[in-house]
Chain A
Amino acid sequence: DTAVSQTPKYLVTQMGNDKSIKCEQNLGHDTMYWYKQDSKKFLKIMFSYNNKELIINETVPNRFSPKSPDKAHLNLHINSLELGDSAVYFCASSLRTTEETQYFGPGTRLLVL
């Protein structure tokens, strides 16, 4: 059974479009995260939610809006996509905010043309 799943796995779209990525975890964890991994594999935290509440919002453009309908789901909506948004986006979860070990999803590969 997949612990942290993301859809879609691949996303190819035009500049200016709006797209969403979905994430679900079945581990019963309280805390979920979105990371962005660039072409050089550098991993950067974007957002963190704990029990549906936003707790970390790094310096990310307002075009990115996370939403957590319940503690098992964390979605990422991106408005007005730009070329520089092309990257791999990873969802992750941890048991709680003070639990250090993170469990990652398989990633969503976004290509903006």
Chain B
Amino acid sequence: GDSVTQMEGPVTLSEEAFLTINCTYTATGYPSLFWYVQYPGEGLQLLLKATKADDKGSNKGFEATYRKETTSFHLEKGSVQVSDSAVYFCALSDTGGSYIPTFGRGTSLIVHP
């Protein structure tokens, strides 16, 4: 079945540091890929998505590129802020299946001033 593997957290960075959160996936079809963010005490929000190979999703300074050859969708940001502290979920949706997202286990990001 489909699965998503994320790097374990927490990831702890200083403000303005470069962020990478790794995500790899396994899917039988041609999935769409997502990053969701969960701020403390809130529900998940869509951060960015990519629907086909080589697409780049971007939002709020975050970027991720759909790499079919390495089955990866790593999240990057050039300069993190304290307000980016949250849990980040990588997910895939198999457009040949039920469309219900399969979520990774989440990676907690803590940014210190």
Chain A interface (Cβ < 8 Å from any Cβ of B): 4, 33, 40-43, 45, 48, 56, 90, 92, 94, 97-107
Contacts and interface: CB of A to CB of B under 8 A. Distances in A.
21 contacts: A4-B43, A33-B100, A40-B105, A41-B105, A42-B103, A42-B105, A42-B106, A43-B106, A45-B100, A48-B100, A56-B100, A92-B43, A98-B95, A100-B93, A100-B99, A102-B46, A102-B101, A104-B43, A104-B45, A106-B42, A106-B43
The DSSP consensus for interface residues of chain B is strand
Given A41-B87, A100-B93, A101-B49, A90 B103 contact: no
Contacts of B42: 106-107
Contacts of B101: 100, 102
Given A92-B44, A102-B101, 7 more contacts: A42-B103, A56-B98, A98-B99, A100-B99, A101-B34, A104-B43, A107-B42
Contact of B32 (A43, A56, A100, A105): A100
Interface residues of B, number: 23
